[in-house]
């Protein structure tokens, strides 16, 4: 799976002033917090949980259309796409999978594929030899051990080649409706910036974040945080001046705080650009991604 970004520079936990403006105000161009959070007093566990849940509520308003950004029509397609997404973008996966699933629509079909043919189809996603081995192995396991069906239990999913907890939670949450936290690069980076956890290990991050939120929120929380990380709270230069949750963020100021300059850093629909899915949900406010080989791809 994709390597996790290191946490940003250590800061003492902070308590946000109750007089800070609601984060939902001015979503088009976030304002600098009216009162700069003080780092003098450590934030209590209860205060952190309240702040974390408020951030989740604000993200739900900012991204009511949050969704998995991999194109899929069934659990098998989502499983394969998620395995392919390691060390590449969802966009590149979505541009690659139409031809892949046209050639191998079922686990049985993929299990019988010639390795060199499979490798050629998934070459655009990178690390195609290792990914081909994983796809052949998981397809054969699905065929031989699960009757050609993707299992709906994490205990079974993680037995498949190339499938860890991150991939399993993606499949369970989005193909089976089983709540789960998906700790990818963006998720880990943001929850550390927000001081929800100091953990680096994905499983420890998952456990600590699960303890903050009710189970019913886990899957959508994952989507909202990842959406925010891809669109506004970037790894190298966060668009702090355009961030609607700036009043709640202990890391405010690590990125560009000037509203006009920050708006130029926004990505995907927030920046007026295509998203990552070729077939986005009907409520997605942005543009569909271009197919592989098109002039804008």
Catalytic annotation present for 166: yes
Question: Which residues are paired to 74 by β-bridges?
Answer: none
Q: Both tokens of residue 275?
A: 């998203």
Residue from 15, 131, 166, 270 carrying the catalytic annotation: 166
Q: What is the crossing angle of helices 75-84 and 165-175, to 10°? A: 150
Distance of CA 67 to the CA centre of its chain: 9
Spatial contact of 136 and 119, defined as CB atoms under 8 Å apart: no
Residue-by-residue DSSP string for 243-268: -TTGGG-TTTTSS---HHHHHTT--G
Neighbours of 104 (CB within 10 A): 21
- Residue 101, Cβ density class (10 Å: 0-12 exposed, 13-18 middle, ≥19 buried): buried
Residue from 15, 90, 184, 195 carrying the catalytic annotation: 184
CA quadruple 277, 279, 284, 285: dihedral sign: positive
Q: Round to whole Å and give the CA distance between 289 and 266.
A: 17
Q: Both tokens of residue 183?
A: 């700790």
Q: Both tokens of residue 245?
A: 């949750």
Catalytic annotation present for 90: no
Q: What is the crossing angle of helices 218-231 and 45-62, to 10°? A: 70
Spatial contact of 160 and 138, defined as CB atoms under 8 Å apart: yes
Spatial contact of 247 and 23, defined as CB atoms under 8 Å apart: yes
Neighbours of 214 (CB within 10 A): 10
Active site residues per annotation: 166, 184
């Amino acid at each position: 799976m994709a390597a996790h970004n290191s946490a940003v520079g250590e800061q003492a936990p902070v308590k946000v002033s109750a007089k800070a403006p609601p984060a939902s105000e001015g979503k088009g161009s976030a304002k600098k917090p009216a009162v700069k959070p003080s780092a003098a007093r450590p934030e209590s566990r209860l205060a952190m949980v309240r702040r974390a849940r408020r951030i989740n509520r604000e993200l739900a308003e900012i991204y009511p259309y949050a969704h998995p950004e991999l194109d899929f029509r069934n659990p098998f397609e989502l499983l394969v796409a998620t395995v392919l997404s390691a060390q590449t973008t969802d966009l590149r996966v979505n541009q690659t999978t139409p031809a892949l699933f046209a050639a191998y629509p079922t686990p049985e079909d993929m299990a019988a594929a010639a390795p060199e043919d499979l490798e050629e189809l998934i070459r655009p996603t990178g690390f195609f030899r290792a990914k081909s081995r994983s796809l052949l192995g998981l397809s054969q396991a699905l065929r031989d051990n699960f009757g050609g069906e993707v299992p709906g239990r994490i205990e079974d999913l993680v037995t498949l080649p190339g499938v860890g907890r991150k991939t399993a939670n993606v499949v369970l949450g989005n193909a089976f409706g089983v709540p789960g936290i998906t700790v990818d690069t963006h998720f880990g980076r943001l929850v550390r910036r927000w001081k929800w956890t100091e953990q680096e290990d994905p499983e420890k991050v998952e456990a600590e974040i699960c303890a903050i939120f009710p189970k019913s929120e886990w899957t959508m929380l994952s989507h909202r945080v990842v959406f925010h990380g891809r669109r506004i709270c970037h790894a190298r230069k966060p668009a702090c001046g355009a961030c609607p949750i700036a009043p709640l963020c202990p890391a405010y100021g690590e990125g560009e705080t000037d509203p006009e300059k920050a708006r130029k850093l926004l990505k995907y629909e927030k920046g007026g650009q295509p998203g990552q899915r070729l077939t986005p949900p009907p409520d997605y406010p942005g543009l569909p991604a271009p197919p592989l080989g098109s002039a804008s791809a």
